[in-house]
């Protein structure tokens, strides 16, 4: 199997390197050509001139880009150049609707599509230990499995095309709520002058225990917000979640409240910090006596 990889960002680059290590990577393409040139030189793989040229020499293409429009643009560029029976795996985080539209466009070329958003951050991408939430046809998933297993450790088939993105959106909503929970509670504790290290010990082992408290709590209580997961990326994902809820005529309170808070963080130029910097806003409530 010759795989092509489109989108060599913070996640895509280490994922492409893992495909190369597994002997599956043929060619790569990136909008900023210098990045692809650098990696092609490093790995000894082919830098394609454009997405279509990459598709022409691949029987599987992995896409890992930023937005819904980017995904559809790439799909339109590679669809006509892929052989019938090829498969496209989209690891970007976009809406389920975009996933279904991408699958529809590729189906006209008899090309399969899997939406496979990932979780586990850049560390997971480097280690090849990502959690991959897959949507699409079971046979396509079986054929794509060697590629997915080169990039991730947990691969869960969630249903038809779009189900992977719906699962990722669910994950992002839950992370938003837990961020709200942890940052609000820690701000309350800080205002009451509690010893924060001991607090983390007392709370981590009980019913309030969670990954975010264990991994971000120790830096939050020092007022540090190293990456992690950027505020501006989570904000983009929550826009997707809000749009997906709006299709049901629903506005969800955790999503809306977190978007409101992130907008304030972005305005204060904290968009490049880890999302745990929500603690700034909750702490300010106590400092300023706002309501």
Report the interface residues with its own copies, using CB under 8 A: 96, 119-121, 131, 133, 154, 156-159, 163, 166-167, 169-171, 173-178, 180-182, 184-186, 188-189, 191-195, 198-199, 201-203, 205-213, 215, 229, 241, 244-245, 248-255, 257, 282, 285-286, 289-291
Q: Is 22 or 189 the residue whose CB approaches its own copies more closely?
A: 189
In the complex, what is the shortest distance from the CB of residue 115 to its own copies, in angstroms, rounded to a whole number?
13
Task: State the residue for tokens 């466009």.
Answer: 105
Adjacent-strand bridge partners of 154:
131
Q: Is 27 or 95 the residue whose CB approaches its own copies more closely?
A: 95
The two tokens of residue 224 are 């540090």
In the complex, what is the shortest distance from the CB of residue 9 to its own copies, in angstroms, rounded to a whole number?
19
* Helix (H), strand (E) at residue 154: strand 152-159
Q: Is 21 or 264 the residue whose CB approaches its own copies more closely?
A: 264
Active-site residue among 13, 168, 230, 282?
168
In the complex, what is the shortest distance from the CB of residue 254 to its own copies, in angstroms, rounded to a whole number?
5
Taking a C-beta distance cutoff of 8 angstroms, is the pair 256, 242 a contact?
yes
In the complex, what is the shortest distance from the CB of residue 57 to its own copies, in angstroms, rounded to a whole number?
33
Distance CA 280, CA 261 (A): 10
Q: Is residue 168 flagged as an active site residue?
A: yes
Question: How many Cβ atoms from other residues are within 10 Å of residue 71's Cβ?
Answer: 27
Q: Is 209 or 218 the residue whose CB approaches its own copies more closely?
A: 209
Distance CA 59, CA 237 (A): 30
Cα three-residue angle 167-170-174, rounded to 5 degrees: 140
3-state secondary structure of 149: helix
Closest CA to 259 of 286, 279, 284, 278: 278
Catalytic residues: 168
């Amino acid at each position: 199997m010759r795989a092509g990889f489109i989108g060599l960002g913070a996640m895509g680059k280490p994922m492409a390197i893992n495909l190369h290590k597994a002997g599956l990577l043929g060619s790569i393409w990136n909008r900023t050509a210098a990045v692809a040139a650098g990696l092609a030189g490093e790995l000894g793989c082919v830098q394609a001139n454009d997405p279509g040229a990459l598709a022409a020499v691949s029987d599987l293409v992995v896409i890992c880009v930023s937005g819904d429009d980017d995904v559809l643009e790439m799909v339109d560029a590679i669809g006509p150049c892929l052989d019938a029976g090829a498969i496209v795996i989209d690891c970007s985080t976009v809406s389920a609707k975009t996933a279904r539209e991408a699958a529809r466009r590729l189906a006209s070329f008899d090309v399969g599509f899997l939406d496979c958003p990932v979780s586990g951050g850049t560390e997971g991408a480097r280690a090849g230990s990502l959690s991959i939430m897959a949507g699409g046809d079971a046979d396509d998933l079986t054929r794509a499995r060697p590629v997915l297993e080169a990039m991730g450790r947990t691969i869960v088939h969630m249903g038809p095309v779009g189900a992977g993105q719906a699962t990722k959106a669910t994950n992002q909503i839950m992370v938003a709520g837990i961020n709200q929970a942890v940052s609000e509670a820690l701000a309350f504790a800080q205002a009451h002058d509690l010893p924060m290290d001991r607090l983390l010990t007392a709370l981590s082992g009980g019913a309030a225990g969670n990954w975010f408290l264990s991994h971000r709590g120790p830096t939050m209580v020092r007022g540090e917000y190293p990456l992690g997961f950027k505020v501006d990326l989570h904000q983009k994902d929550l826009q997707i979640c809000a749009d997906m809820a709006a299709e049901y005529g629903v506005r969800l309170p955790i999503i809306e409240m977190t978007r409101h808070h992130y907008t304030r963080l972005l305005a204060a130029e904290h968009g490049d910090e880890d999302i745990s910097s929500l603690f700034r806003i909750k702490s300010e409530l106590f400092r300023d006596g706002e309501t």
